[in-house]
Amino acid sequence: MKAMTWHGGANFTLDEVPDPEPTPGYVVVKIDTTGICGTDVHITQGLFPSEPPNILGHEGSGTIVAVGEGVSSERIGQRVVMNHSSHCFECWNCRNWNVSRCLVAPASTNGLYAEYVALDSRAAVELPEDLDIEVAAMTEPAACCLSGVEMLDIPYRATGLVIGAGIMGLFTAAFMKSHGVETLVVSEPVKVRREMAKQFGADILHDPNDVPLSEVIADITDHGQGFHVTAEAVGKPELVATCINSTKPRGQTLMIGVCPEGSPLPVDLYDMHFREIKLVGAFGRGNVFHRVPKELTKLNLQNVISGRYPLADLPDAITASAEGLGVKFAIKPND
């Protein structure tokens, strides 16, 4: 089969690699759609740890075409979304933390920038009939956001802020609204992304290049003290600090964006301590992945995918994502 191999930096090659085999307990999926994740972009920029050579890609949907021993043949033909890690359900992490940090099962099933992939049958989640297979590829980022939002304690009639309206910010906005935020502000400098936030439930759109965020805080929060809950969905330490500084006393800040390793937190820790701000880290899909396809059917995802690229054009898709030329970009490996 064909696959795109990452060799470091922005360097990729289109290679012929062995077809995956359905070993016991595994299935082989013909990939329909693989999303471009911000993590993929950060890997090529040296901002997220990964060792080349490697086949990247972890947001994917497709159809099961083969099954291994112990897997029912009735699964052949199922439309599925792929959870890029499997789990044992019995180790300490699975029982006490979350299944995506399993200590026993293989760490991940990266490798979705390819025509086919083999993965644990339990990690191939069947799609609802009313969910489009292309849209389903966004299950992984949506799961990260739902897991994070469910870590918050959202009070009655809460005000909320999301910084960043890439796909992570949009899903965070949608789930903050569905979990009780009454008035939600989404701050985003890129017009196409900012306007898309309305579709995901934003009540107020903020352009940081036009109006200071402090003016919005003064207008809509109690005595200008800040929001009940804030979320950073970009992965920049200075924006995490902006969220913390925009949070009211005893409020909560959620880190959805992934900051580079070794990043300091550029905030006045005394002030954060004095105002009793809770900072919540949310990394990965938690235990909610299997619930998310159904949640996606409740959202308006029309025109969220801004561009579709053949496998060989993966570098162009990553560049488009890095430059913020749209909301979400996708690879179609078998087109």
- Asked whether residue 42 is assigned to any structural domain, the reply reads yes
What is the mean predicted confidence (pLDDT) over 247-271? 96
What is the mean predicted confidence (pLDDT) over 56-65? 96
- Asked whether residue 206 is assigned to any structural domain, the reply reads yes
What per-residue confidence (pLDDT) applies to 21?
93
Does 187 share its domain with 71?
no
128 preceded by a cis bond (ω within 30 of 0): no
Does 192 share its domain with 68?
no
Torsion 149-292-137-97 (CA) sign: positive
Q: At what angle do helices 167-178 and 139-149 cross, to 10 degrees?
A: 50
Lowest mean pLDDT among 73-82, 85-94, 133-142: 85-94
Q: Can you give the CATH number for the domain in which 8 is found?
A: 3.90.180.10
Give tens-digit pLDDT for 200-234: 999 999 999 999 999 999 999 989 999 999 999 99
Q: How confident is the model at residue 86 (pLDDT cuts 50, 70, 90)?
A: confident
Does 135 share its domain with 11?
yes
Q: Identify the three-state secondary structure at position 308.
A: strand
- Asked whether residue 45 is assigned to any structural domain, the reply reads yes
Count of domains forming the chain: 2
By CB atoms closer than 10 A (0-12, 13-18, 19+), residue 310 is middle
Does 192 share its domain with 298?
no
Q: How confident is the model at residue 109 (pLDDT cuts 50, 70, 90)?
A: low
Does 51 share its domain with 85?
yes
Does 168 share its domain with 233?
yes
Which domain range does residue 237 map to?
152-281
**Residue 305 scores a pLDDT above 60:** yes
What is the mean predicted confidence (pLDDT) over 56-81? 97
Rounded CA separation 217/239 (Å): 16
DSSP state letters, 261-306: TT----S-HHHHHHTT-EEEE--S-TT-GGGHHHHHTTS--TT-EE
What per-residue confidence (pLDDT) applies to 226?
97
- Asked whether residue 173 is assigned to any structural domain, the reply reads yes
Does 165 share its domain with 224?
yes
Here the tokens at position 72 are 């029912």
What per-residue confidence (pLDDT) applies to 273?
97
Q: Can you give the CATH number for the domain in which 257 is found?
A: 3.40.50.720
What per-residue confidence (pLDDT) applies to 110?
64
What per-residue confidence (pLDDT) applies to 213?
96
Does 100 share its domain with 156?
no
Q: How confident is the model at residue 101 (pLDDT cuts 50, 70, 90)?
A: confident
